[in-house]
């Protein structure tokens, strides 16, 4: 099928969101959400580009390819890549054309390594990457908690245990209104706990500005459902919650982490229980979260809470030179 390739333009975002929503019907997004992610990237430091495939007669965008630096694993010659083709246009060679275009760009950038991802149950996506010379690097398990059936009765010991250590729980909204140093202290905690999160390559610490854009002040963050554990004025644990504009009944559990000095005091479980309580009160149907298969501690916490494991999301890696 003949299509024309060009760089993505602002008018294309509505089409990009429709493509994603047609492929991943359970993880819907909007043009505004995609545009925010692109506009938030510091182009003075990071490289990012999208190419689109356009059907000439209708001038309709039917696929797109993306590549860019990952701020959390920044290396000038290492990139993430994603290729998404609308289901009605798959198996026509469009993905390969986009991939070849991306490789041309990356050759000019002297790239050495490339990461991409695919759901393990989407055989065409995993096969495509394997044919292009990618190999599996790591897997993140998706887990979901069915909220209507959840009961707090089995978990009363955890908040009591946490309180016995002098730990108090507050929300990001409350902390930001009461503590002028809130975001700086939260940034320090986030940077610390991120050191223990498995990643495909060497981590790099987000700048404070990037932390605000991608995490604490992200438009999809829920500050009333973002809980912090405090020892006096020190922030020692966090559990962040977000939402999708296209999925009003689904909540997304983002990062949960506790400072190393404060682990084994029930803090992570207490924070997650606070998140669940908030989500139930707000009328959400389900919580979705992802944990790397090597993150045994958090997987165990989620299993104890009743999260059920769903599909795995595989990170693939390819050395270019």
**Counting Cβ atoms within 10 Å, is residue 43 exposed (0-12), middle (13-18) or buried (19+)?**
exposed
d(C-alpha 152, C-alpha 97), whole Å: 52
Q: What radius of gyration, in Å, describes the C-alpha atoms of the chain? A: 21
How confident is residue 92, by pLDDT bands cut at 50, 70 and 90? very high
Residue 77: pLDDT over 70: yes
In terms of DSSP bridges, do strands 4-7 and 48-55 run parallel, antiparallel, or are they unpaired? Answer: antiparallel
Contact 12, 38 (CB under 8 A): no
Q: In the prediction, which pLDDT does 293 show?
A: 85
d(C-alpha 22, C-alpha 314), whole Å: 20
Per the structure block, which two tokens stand in for 93? 């060679």
Region of residue 154 (left: phi > 0; alpha: psi -120 to 50; beta: else): alpha
First to last CA, the chain: 31
Which residues are bridge partners to 80 per DSSP? Answer: 68, 115
Q: In the prediction, which pLDDT does 1 show?
A: 61
From residue 21, give the alpha-carbon distance in Å to each of 26, 27, 81, 247: 8, 7, 18, 11
d(C-alpha 165, C-alpha 148), whole Å: 31
Per the structure block, which two tokens stand in for 256? 């949960």
Q: Domains of the chain (ranges plus CATH)?
A: 4-111 (3.40.630.30), 143-311 (3.40.630.30)
Our CA angle for 189, 191, 197, nearest 5°, is 110
Tell me the pLDDT tens digit for each residue of 132-168: 999 999 999 999 999 988 999 999 999 999 999 999 9
**DSSP assigned state of 221:** B
Residues 6+ apart with CB under 8 A from 223: 171, 172, 173, 176
Mean predicted confidence (pLDDT) in 121-138:
96
- Rounded to the nearest angstrom, the gap between the alpha carbon of residue 137 and the centroid of all alpha carbons in its chain is 17
d(C-alpha 221, C-alpha 33), whole Å: 12
Percentage of the chain modeled with pLDDT above 90? 89
How confident is residue 297, by pLDDT bands cut at 50, 70 and 90? confident
d(C-alpha 170, C-alpha 274), whole Å: 10
Contact 306, 120 (CB under 8 A): no
d(C-alpha 5, C-alpha 2), whole Å: 10
Residue 235: pLDDT over 90: yes
Residue 20: pLDDT over 80: yes
Core vs surface per residue 132-145: b (16+ CB within 10 A) or e? bebeebbebbbbbb
Q: In the prediction, which pLDDT does 91 show?
A: 93
Minimal CA–CA distance to 128: which of 63, 55, 200?
63
Report the range of poorest mean pLDDT among 187-196, 295-304, 311-320: 295-304
Contact 8, 52 (CB under 8 A): yes
Minimal CA–CA distance to 304: which of 194, 158, 197, 169?
158
Per the structure block, which two tokens stand in for 216? 């604490």
Mean predicted confidence (pLDDT) in 40-53:
96
Contact 35, 49 (CB under 8 A): no
d(C-alpha 193, C-alpha 321), whole Å: 32
For the full predicted model, state whether its pTM sits above 0.95: no
């Amino acid at each position: 099928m003949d299509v024309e390739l060009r760089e993505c333009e602002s008018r294309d975002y509505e089409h990009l969101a429709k493509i994603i929503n047609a492929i991943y019907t359970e993880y819907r997004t909007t043009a505004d959400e995609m545009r925010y992610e692109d506009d938030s990237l510091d182009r003075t430091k990071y490289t990012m580009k999208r190419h689109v495939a356009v059907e000439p007669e209708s001038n309709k965008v039917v696929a797109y390819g993306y590549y860019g630096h990952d701020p959390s694993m920044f290396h000038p010659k290492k990139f993430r890549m994603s290729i998404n083709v609308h289901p009605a246009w798959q198996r026509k060679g469009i993905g390969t054309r986009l991939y070849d275009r991306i490789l041309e760009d990356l050759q000019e950038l002297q790239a050495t390594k490339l990461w991409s991802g695919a759901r393990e149950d989407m055989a065409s996506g995993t096969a495509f990457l394997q044919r292009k010379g990618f190999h599996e690097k790591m897997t993140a398990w998706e887990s979901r908690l069915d909220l209507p059936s959840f009961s707090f009765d089995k978990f009363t010991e955890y908040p009591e245990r946490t309180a016995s250590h002098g730990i108090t729980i507050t929300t990001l909204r409350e902390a930001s209104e009461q503590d002028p140093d809130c975001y700086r202290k939260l940034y320090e905690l986030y940077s610390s706990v991120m050191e223990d999160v498995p990643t495909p390559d060497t981590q790099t610490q987000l700048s404070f500005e990037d932390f605000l854009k991608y995490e604490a002040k992200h438009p999809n963050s829920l500050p009333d459902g973002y809980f912090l554990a405090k020892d006096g004025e020190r922030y020692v644990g966090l559990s962040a919650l977000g939402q999708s504009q296209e999925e009003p009944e689904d909540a997304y559990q983002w990062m949960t982490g506790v400072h190393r000095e404060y682990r084994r005091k029930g803090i992570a479980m207490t924070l997650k229980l606070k998140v669940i309580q908030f989500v139930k009160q707000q009328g959400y149907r389900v919580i979705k979260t992802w944990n790397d298969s090597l993150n045994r501690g958090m997987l165990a916490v989620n299993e104890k809470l009743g999260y059920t494991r769903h599909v795995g999301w595989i990170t693939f890696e390819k050395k270019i030179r």
